[in-house]
A and B are shown apart, each in its own frame.
Chain A
Amino acid sequence: MSTAPAEISVEPRVHYLNVDYGIKSWLLTTDHKRIAMLYLASITFMFVIGGAFAVIMRLHLIEPTGALVEPETYNKLFTMHGIIMIFFFLIPSIPAVLGNFLVPLMIGARDLAFPRINLLSWYIYVVGAAFTMYAVVSGGVDTGWTFYTPYSSTYANTHVMATALGVFITGFSSILTGLNFIVTIHKMRAPGMTWFRMPLFLWAIYATSMIMILGTPVLAITIVLLALERLLHVGIFDPNLGGDPLLFQHMFWFYSHPAVYIMILLGMGVVSELVTCFSKKRIFGYSFVAFSSVSIAVLSFLVWGHHMFVTGQSIYAGLVFSLLSFLVAIPSAIKVFNWTATLYKGSVSYQAPMLYAMGFIGLFTMGGLTGLFLASLATDVHLNGTYFIVAHFHYIMVGSAVMAYLGGIHFWWPKITGRLYPDTWARFAALVIFIGFNLTFFPQFMLGYLGMPRRYAFYPQEFQVLNVMSSAGASILAVGYLIPLVYLFWSMRYGPVASSNPWGAKGLEWQTSSPPPTDNFEETPVVTEGAYAYSSEEAPVV
């Protein structure tokens, strides 16, 4: 994907894709749209690798004794699956691809505030990914994506440092991207684009950027401390050296819990765009949806201790973290209700992006509600560390976040590439993914409740039936993810040419041509109405 499809040059109009075809014009670009494409190519590559690891794991678990690989290899597989998917796919997915492409377009700007820093953040991502991929090909790492000490700092003899260094470096890419978005949204909005006229996707981007710049440095610090202990034997986490093993978990989850909201908040932002467009309605309760994003972002920093209910932390700390975790569920519920209410008296069409959005709402509802089991102290004691957790966070991070990401890719694909994909195939893929996902992960809720611990390379016989069901579902899910990969690639060359606004959507990005010219707009747009003005009446803000 390093060069644009050649036949676009048949079109006389110059746009960001056909303005130059040289390899240098891509690698040295400062155009936010081209950088988004660089990210799209890189994270898709990482997704395929991380997905392949998942496929091997599910095949392995068909047999209680383990069907394919040695336990050591299995441990490396789930570790690298987690690290690649979280740090190199999910966290950059919506912000770095859709955010990069859309933020300037949605606010009517020519580019991000710092175009060169934007390119730098992609290079930093690539360097980080290179270190991690080096660790993968040179033997792998087996600490779990959570790098818990003292296993990671003292006992593991796999490539911990190369992997952690990769994660450390990639963090700076997140920080720079977040910084860029915040400055851009503050300073570069077109005339008339007030905060409360912004599309909700931008509110989500803003809240997420805050998390990225406030949370990521803590992860970086944690990794530095881990390195100090592993390489120089400075006692920080290992009690044999005078350290505290739980300190690591506090620091790690202080970043990594909010990181989950990086993924899901943006998914929510995308879905707000899709639901409004495909029901031709203003979002129901705009300000409630907007402020729920902000309150989720704030609360996300105060709930990390719910990962540690069984570590022996004080039961009073457990009490506070449990209460706060219940609180974070409420803004999420508000969003779900408002999306549903948006459909009321709308003009609902079932084009592919809408099916992805509906899939998101369904899976997010289930993922969110099963989170209550884990916020509840008494049930968490039983469920923590089992497949219930695995199922829950996959409903949120894969079921919901990836569904929203794909919905967004399908929605803005005509804008990004100037081409349409076959809608029937896209709808079929959405259905296959939804069904495959549920078949894969629903049995895991039951496995967890019945007591099967996660990260087991082999397991007692009584868990086999549910494991086989999960693996069978995973094969459907894998096909579901491959279908869009095929038709989206196909559409870049053979898809029908898209108009500037194929969905009849509101939003500044649809007012410019598809694909947009390098400078985005012929002339700076002036905004006179709020987002989602699908109805004729003037829109008062609730």
Chain B
Amino acid sequence: MPWWSGFPIHPERGSTIAEGVDHLHYFLTAITLIFTAIIFATIFYFAVKYRRQSENDKPPHIAGSLTLEILWTLIPTLLAFVTFVWSASLYFRNSRPPEAALEIFVIGKQWMWQLQHPEGPREINELHVPVGQPIKLTMISQDVIHDFYVPAFRVKKDVLPGRYSSIWFQATKTGKYHFFCAQYCGAQHAGMIGWVYVMTPVDYEEWLSGGVKGESMAQAGGRLFGQLGCITCHMPDGTGRGPSLEGLFGKPVQLQDGRTVPADEAYLREHILNPRALTVKGYPPIMPTFQGQVSEEQVLQLIAFVKSLGTEERKPAKP
């Protein structure tokens, strides 16, 4: 290995957005270097040229210059605005996951990462993904705030307790990349790291189907749906005490208090844990809370099950 290999000029680029972020980074680095050089050189030049000759020096009186003030207000303002627009548009683009993204679920807890594929496989501190396909991570913490950070992909997002957050990325080459917890979370914070394995789609399929054939998230959720007794009220044909959940996911729901909210992941999670806050119009507020009875992992499984309802026993998403 050459001696300079310890000094890479940029971290590995493993995602579609990495290069764009790096270009902005280089632009800002150039601005920093140019302005620093100008300031250093000018100070050095003035300090030498106008060094004190005697204690009796009488420098001329110069109060200032309006032209210069305007000039050195306008130039930085212009540069700031250009940078702002550039970075904001990049950020907007990078924030929106494509529709067809493959969804994977992340649960952070002191001090490990649990990653759950809809097809069933569950990993600890490792994440296997196919190359060239958008991946959306839906994340939640079981305790304190964590943060999922993959430097090679230039993505990072806090993983919060009580609320889903998400990031997406599309890996551009196969390989092995570090991911880190980037929000201090206690004693073993530094140990909360792992690897993303980016594989060819064929290898990924093989990896998915390899190992112990477990149940998918939706199947596990269906099992819970029976065990927890949800099925007794939420009957598929709508004759139960609660509404039928067939085809519910993604649809708007009218609440007792007049609001209409979309039945997304956040809604379903809140409804399982705090049902009284979201009583559906036309139904009595009798659903008990499942707070403390189901883990975040089980909540995700229940949501996966509800998602699959009415979609003809949804098969695991195939690319």
The answer on A and B forming one complex is yes
- B59 in contact with A280 (CB, 8 Å): yes
- B39 in contact with A539 (CB, 8 Å): no
Bound Cα distance from A156 to B189, whole angstroms: 13
- A536 in contact with B58 (CB, 8 Å): yes
Asked if B239 is at the interface (CB within 8 A of a chain A CB), the reply is no
Q: A239-B163, A450-B8 are in contact. Are A150 and B144 (CB under 8 A)?
A: yes
Selected contact of A345 from candidates B35, B59, B81, CB within 8 Å: B59
Bound Cα distance from A17 to B259, whole angstroms: 71
- A457 in contact with B190 (CB, 8 Å): yes
Q: A343-B43, A382-B21, A449-B11 are in contact. Are A535 and B60 (CB under 8 A)?
A: yes
Selected contact of A151 from candidates B65, B145, B162, CB within 8 Å: B145
Residues of B53-71 at the interface with A, using a CB-CB cut-off of 8 Å, are 53, 55, 57-66, 68-69
Q: Which residues of B contact A540 (CB under 8 A)?
A: 63
Bound Cα distance from A369 to B296, whole angstroms: 42
Q: A336-B39, A377-B88, A379-B21 are in contact. Are A345 and B162 (CB under 8 A)?
A: no
- A348 in contact with B95 (CB, 8 Å): no
Asked if B311 is at the interface (CB within 8 A of a chain A CB), the reply is no
- Considering the complex, give the chain B residue whose CB is closest to the CB of A372: B28
Asked if A384 is at the interface (CB within 8 A of a chain B CB), the reply is yes
- A348 in contact with B47 (CB, 8 Å): yes
- A347 in contact with B52 (CB, 8 Å): yes
Asked if B151 is at the interface (CB within 8 A of a chain A CB), the reply is yes
Asked if B265 is at the interface (CB within 8 A of a chain A CB), the reply is no
Bound Cα distance from A358 to B46, whole angstroms: 12
- A453 in contact with B182 (CB, 8 Å): yes
Q: A350-B47, A377-B91, A385-B156 are in contact. Are A536 and B61 (CB under 8 A)?
A: yes
Asked if A511 is at the interface (CB within 8 A of a chain B CB), the reply is no
Digit string of B87-107 for contact with A (CB within 8 Å is 1, else 0)? 110111011000000000000
Asked if A482 is at the interface (CB within 8 A of a chain B CB), the reply is no
- B80 in contact with A373 (CB, 8 Å): no
- B187 in contact with A72 (CB, 8 Å): yes
Task: Name which of A131-139, A324-332, A403-411 contacts chain B.
Answer: A324-332
B153 to chain A, nearest CB (A): 9
- B60 in contact with A542 (CB, 8 Å): no
B211 to chain A, nearest CB (A): 27
- A455 in contact with B184 (CB, 8 Å): yes
- A155 in contact with B143 (CB, 8 Å): yes
- Considering the complex, give the chain B residue whose CB is closest to the CB of A308: B158
Q: How many A-B residue pairs have CB under 8 A?
A: 273
Asked if B196 is at the interface (CB within 8 A of a chain A CB), the reply is no
- A382 in contact with B154 (CB, 8 Å): yes
- B76 in contact with A71 (CB, 8 Å): no
- A347 in contact with B53 (CB, 8 Å): yes
Asked if B232 is at the interface (CB within 8 A of a chain A CB), the reply is no
Q: Which residues of A contact B35 (CB under 8 A)?
A: 365, 369
Q: Which residues of B contact A348 (CB under 8 A)?
A: 46-47, 50-52
- B32 in contact with A372 (CB, 8 Å): yes
- Considering the complex, give the chain B residue whose CB is closest to the CB of A369: B32
Selected contact of B180 from candidates A144, A361, A453, CB within 8 Å: A453
Selected contact of A71 from candidates B25, B157, B163, B190, CB within 8 Å: B190
- A376 in contact with B156 (CB, 8 Å): no
Selected contact of B154 from candidates A71, A312, A347, A381, CB within 8 Å: A381
Q: Which residues of B contact A142 (CB under 8 A)?
A: 186-187
- B88 in contact with A346 (CB, 8 Å): no
Residues of A321-374 at the interface with B, using a CB-CB cut-off of 8 Å, are 322-323, 326-327, 329-330, 333-334, 336-338, 340-341, 343-350, 358, 361-362, 365-366, 369-370, 372-373
- B183 in contact with A322 (CB, 8 Å): no
- B69 in contact with A334 (CB, 8 Å): yes
Asked if A465 is at the interface (CB within 8 A of a chain B CB), the reply is yes
- B162 in contact with A379 (CB, 8 Å): no
- A382 in contact with B61 (CB, 8 Å): no
Bound Cα distance from A521 to B221, whole angstroms: 82
Asked if A75 is at the interface (CB within 8 A of a chain B CB), the reply is yes
Query: A323, A334, A382 — which one has the most chain B CB atoms within 10 A of its CB?
Result: A382
Residues of B109-145 at the interface with A, using a CB-CB cut-off of 8 Å, are 110, 143-145
Asked if A319 is at the interface (CB within 8 A of a chain B CB), the reply is yes
Selected contact of A456 from candidates B65, B151, B189, CB within 8 Å: B189
- Considering the complex, give the chain A residue whose CB is closest to the CB of B93: A378
A392 to chain B, nearest CB (A): 11
Bound Cα distance from A449 to B68, whole angstroms: 35
Asked if A285 is at the interface (CB within 8 A of a chain B CB), the reply is yes
- B32 in contact with A366 (CB, 8 Å): yes
- A376 in contact with B11 (CB, 8 Å): no
Counting from the closest, the 9 A-B pairs by CB-CB distance are A451-B151, A239-B162, A347-B57, A376-B87, A377-B91, A535-B61, A285-B64, A385-B182, A343-B46
- Contacts from B to A (Cβ < 8 Å): 6-8, 10-11, 20-21, 24-25, 28, 31-32, 35-36, 39-40, 42-43, 46-47, 50-53, 55, 57-66, 68-69, 72-73, 76-77, 80-81, 83-84, 86-88, 90-92, 94-95, 110, 143-145, 147, 149, 151-152, 154-158, 160-163, 165, 178, 180-191, 193
- 4 further A-B contacts with Cβ under 8 Å, apart from A245-B145, A281-B59, A338-B64, are A284-B63, A343-B46, A382-B154, A449-B10
**CB<8 Å pairs between A and B, sample of 28:** A144-B184, A150-B145, A155-B143, A239-B163, A240-B162, A280-B52, A280-B57, A280-B58, A282-B62, A286-B63, A323-B88, A330-B73, A345-B50, A345-B59, A346-B59, A348-B47, A348-B51, A369-B35, A370-B32, A373-B28, A378-B90, A382-B21, A382-B151, A453-B181, A455-B190, A457-B190, A466-B6, A540-B63
